[in-house]
Chain A
């Protein structure tokens, strides 16, 4: 059913941004984590977000599905829109179903592979076994995990390798059919081969989804992102086409960060 939403999105054309952030400020306690951020994310693009620690990139990402508000000390001002609708006017459950998230460490739940993937759909009321099996196959294929696990879906998910677990997490997020997927340093604990597989699935996924990728690995942004944003100390320093950011950045700090002079 959400697939239809995706189509109507395309029919509207690209005039309207998938996500729009206006004058967003985020505080945790007294510390300003994000300082008057303005940016737009287009449908079906991968936006890479790079920057050193404490640059506000994760706070930005977690605002897009309102996970920040779980922190008691969280305060915000400004607005963020999903399809021109203020996300704070959506129910958090509805928003998070549309904006899925992959965490830095693979967070599989201690249950079987099958149960991990079907966790979201089951909770959203899908009980039909055939429907669920179809979702499992589709989702696992989309994260390139299907061939490795199709014969052992009932096995405990924690027995998979780290890279497989992270791809399982991607499948689990896909299974609730989101429109946007947020990746929070998804490869920070993975070896190069697993990283390559996750990146491959990201490139495939952008055909149907809008992706925001926060990464500590600037090369990863260079490899997969269409546009890249550079954050520093809670401010957006620069956002542009990825090849421009990496070849001819306008800001000296961006250049220095990419060249590894700090961060």
Chain B
């Protein structure tokens, strides 16, 4: 066989594998859009459910998910970034540091339902926050910590070591150096990681199952100590617990959920691309 023919075959195989990777994505999106797009209307997005959730909209679930996601980032971003700064800039390479690193890697691998049980035990029961937005957001925050820490550490490590040396050599303290010569240049990477982790949090069901999610609430939550409806859980309920609900409503709900996650991912990608273009070292 000629070399060029071999090469053509190899390229075709590689291309085929790539297609196989994106096919499920396209397929999922296609099904959701085909079945759900028609169900999307202003009314659907902005009204409360009615008639045992067979009619009306999914407004409280959207609001609940946005509350959860934004409150969770309020906890996870500062803690995650500061932990990453400590690990990357200050920590000596000793047993404790290695244990912490190991813990972070393992946290990232724990299944999300375990986080749910953990949140139930710690926040709902022990700390007496009850089944509430606060408990749910904290649970999601802890689930997201490893992702944010890892992304932040990578972002910090990608800032050239020489920036630190220059800053220190000018007589700045280590904290000033981190604050002004390292963190500003790591922010793009940190933000991208944070948004991606948020997208994951928005779509998770298990961690919110025992900690916040309500089957149905007639009113929007009034404080962080209230329960809330959330999109992934709502989708689970209307797909399994409620008979005679139209397929269109289910897929429209999935459409909204996937839409939110996709939008966040796209924001992260665009942000990264734009900031990378700005990066001048």
A residues touching B (Cβ–Cβ < 8 Å)? 65, 67, 70, 72, 92-98, 100-101, 103, 105, 107, 109-110, 119-120, 123-124, 156, 158, 169, 172-173, 176
Q: Is there contact, CB below 8 Å, between B168 and A110?
A: no
- A70 and B170 contacting across the interface, CB-CB below 8 Å: no
Min Cβ gap B223→A in Å is 42
| Beta-carbon contact of B281 and A176 below 8 Å | no
Beta-carbon contact of B171 and A110 below 8 Å? no
Q: Are B162 and A103 in contact (CB under 8 A)?
A: yes
Interface of B, secondary structure class, is: helix
Q: Do residues B279 and A110 form an inter-chain contact, with CB atoms below 8 A? A: yes
The contact of A110 among B170, B173, B281, by CB within 8 Å, is: B281
* CB closest chain-A residue, reference B181: A109
Could you name 27 residue pairs across A and B whose Cβ atoms are closer than 8 Å?
A70-B165, A93-B173, A94-B171, A96-B168, A96-B169, A96-B171, A97-B170, A98-B171, A100-B169, A101-B169, A103-B162, A105-B162, A107-B162, A107-B163, A109-B166, A109-B181, A110-B279, A119-B170, A120-B171, A120-B172, A123-B176, A124-B171, A156-B280, A158-B280, A172-B170, A173-B169, A176-B171
Query: Are A97 and B92 in touch, CB under 8 angstroms?
Result: no
In the complex, what residues of B have CB within 8 A of residue A109's CB?
163, 166-167, 181
- Counted as pairs of residues, one from A and one from B, with CB atoms less than 8 Å apart, the total is 62
> Which residues of B come within 8 Å of A, CB atoms?
92-93, 162-163, 165-173, 176, 180-181, 185, 279-281
Q: How far is the CA of A156 from the CA of B224 in the complex (A)?
A: 46
Known: A94-B171, A176-B170. A72 touches B281 (CB 8 A): no
A182 to chain B, nearest CB (A): 8
Known: A95-B171, A103-B169. 4 other contacts (CB 8 A): A67-B165, A120-B171, A156-B280, A173-B170
CA distance A156 to B168 in the complex (A): 22
Rounded to whole angstroms, the CA-CA distance of A94 and B171 in the bound complex is 6
User: Could you say which residues of chain B place their CB within 8 Å of the CB of A95?
Assistant: 171
- Residues of chain B lying within 8 A (CB to CB) of residue A173: 169-170
Residues of chain A contacted by B169 (CB below 8 angstroms): 65, 67, 96, 100-101, 103, 173
Contacts of B162 in A (CB 8 A): 103, 105, 107
Inter-chain CA distance A173–B171, complex, in Å, is 10
Nearest chain B CB to A91's CB is how many angstroms away?
Answer: 9
8 Å CB contact of A67 from B168, B181, B185, B280: B168
What is the minimal beta-carbon distance from B8 to any residue of chain A, in angstroms?
Answer: 43
A95 to B172, CA, bound (A): 10
> Which residues of chain B are near A72, meaning CB under 8 Å?
92-93
Contact of A123 among B93, B180, B281 (CB under 8 A): B180
